[in-house]
């Protein structure tokens, strides 16, 4: 379990993915990217619109958002997964157990279509372990790689974890290390990753949250989230006072 400061850093990193006027969505029950969306809206992306948020009137049925994303109108979608491999394949569905049985999770949800339809996919995951970053996923729910006969609007770009930001390089069809958060090292990130991580162009230290970002998070962002994510906000605020 990550601590409050790490959750806040991840929310800030999610926010920095968002530009003004973009259309985007975060999955349900995802307080960290939800905080990121509100933070971006508060500071630099007042016209970014999040489907399914209180500010945007609801769609009719599940199909309407799917149609929006399928025709390439959604700029950014936040995903999590059970496994992610060196080629950017993601797995939401099954993990092979040592005894040969297969552990079932909940299902693919919309990933086998959305992973190809959003212009940018950002993954976030609150654990950075070799259990998540595997050499090869046990089941490919959706694939990041392009090939000439595949039509897609976009693919995986960044992966945000408690240790680092990783980046999908479409030319190499592989995952690289974009930046390491303060207090962590390249060796530590490599040891927590189940495949070898080349350093991305422009590799460096993650820019820590600014005063302005933290102030907005602790004020208007948590205020606006308290209705939908009461437990998350209570946790962030209780530890805020202790720290």
Partner 1 sequence: MAELYRSLAELAELVPDGTRLCLPKQYPFALLRELVRQGRRDLDIVAAPTGNFGVDFLVAAGAVRSVEAGAIHLNEYGFALNFNRAWEAGQVRFIESSCPIIEIGLHAGSAGLSFTPVPGLIGSDILRDRPDFLVVPDPYDPEVDVVLAPSIAPDVALIHGLRADPHGNVVCSIYNDERLVAQASTTVLATVEEVREDALDVLAFDEQVIPSIYFDALAVAPRGAHPLGAHGLYEDDHAALRIYVQAAKSAETMRNYVDRVVRGTADEAEYRRLAVEELSHV
Q: Report the interface residues with partner 1, using CB under 8 A.
A: 29, 57-63, 66, 70, 89, 101, 104-117, 139-143, 145, 147-152
Tokens standing for residue 107: 């299902």
Which residues are bridge partners to 120 per DSSP?
Answer: 76, 155
CB of 125 to partner 1, least distance (A): 18
Q: How far apart are CA 204 and CA 111, in angstroms?
A: 31
Q: Which residues contact 148 (CB under 8 A, 6 or more apart)?
A: none
CB of 178 to partner 1, least distance (A): 24
CB contact at 8 A, 53 and 117: no
Q: Which strand (E) or helix (H) includes residue 178?
A: strand 174-180
Nearer of residues 51 and 215 to partner 1, judged by Cβ: 51
Strands 23-26 and 49-50: parallel
CB of 176 to partner 1, least distance (A): 20
CB of 95 to partner 1, least distance (A): 13
CB of 28 to partner 1, least distance (A): 10
Q: Which strand (E) or helix (H) includes residue 169?
A: strand 164-169
Nearer of residues 18 and 118 to partner 1, judged by Cβ: 118
Q: Mapping DSSP to helix (H, G, I), strand (E, B) and coil, where does residue 237 land?
A: helix
Q: How far apart are CA 212 and CA 217, in angstroms?
A: 9
Nearer of residues 114 and 132 to partner 1, judged by Cβ: 114
Q: With left for phi above 0 and alpha for psi between -120 and 50, is residue 197 left, alpha or beta?
A: beta
CB of 141 to partner 1, least distance (A): 6
Nearer of residues 93 and 206 to partner 1, judged by Cβ: 93
Q: How far apart are CA 160 and CA 178, in angstroms?
A: 10
**Comparing C-alpha atoms, which of 239, 1, 213, 24 is closest to residue 120?**
24
Nearer of residues 152 and 184 to partner 1, judged by Cβ: 152
CB of 81 to partner 1, least distance (A): 13
Nearer of residues 4 and 140 to partner 1, judged by Cβ: 140
Tokens standing for residue 39: 């933070």
Nearer of residues 94 and 213 to partner 1, judged by Cβ: 94
């Amino acid at each position: 379990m990550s601590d409050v400061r790490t959750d806040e850093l991840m929310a800030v990193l999610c926010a920095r993915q968002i530009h003004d006027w973009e259309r985007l969505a975060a999955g349900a029950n995802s307080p960290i990217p939800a905080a990121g969306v509100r933070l971006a809206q508060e500071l630099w992306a007042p016209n970014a619109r999040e489907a399914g948020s209180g500010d945007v009137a609801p769609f009719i049925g599940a199909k309407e958002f799917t149609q929006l994303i399928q025709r390439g109108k959604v700029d950014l979608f936040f995903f999590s997964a059970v496994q992610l491999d060196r080629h950017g394949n993601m797995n939401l569905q099954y993990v092979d157990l040592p005894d040969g049985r297969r552990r079932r999770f909940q299902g693919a949800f919309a990933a086998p279509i959305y992973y190809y339809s959003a212009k940018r996919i950002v993954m976030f995951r609150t654990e950075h372990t070799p259990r998540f970053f595997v050499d090869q996923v046990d089941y490919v729910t959706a694939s990041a790689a392009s090939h000439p006969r595949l039509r897609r609007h976009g693919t995986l770009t960044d992966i945000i974890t408690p240790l680092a930001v990783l980046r999908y390089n479409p030319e190499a069809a592989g995952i690289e290390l974009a930046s390491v958060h303060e207090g962590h090292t390249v060796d530590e990130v490599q040891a927590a990753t189940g495949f070898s991580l080349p350093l991305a162009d422009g590799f460096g230290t993650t820019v820590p949250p600014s005063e302005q970002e933290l102030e907005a998070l602790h004020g208007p962002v948590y205020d606006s989230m308290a209705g939908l994510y009461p437990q998350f906000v209570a946790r962030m605020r209780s530890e805020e006072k202790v720290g």
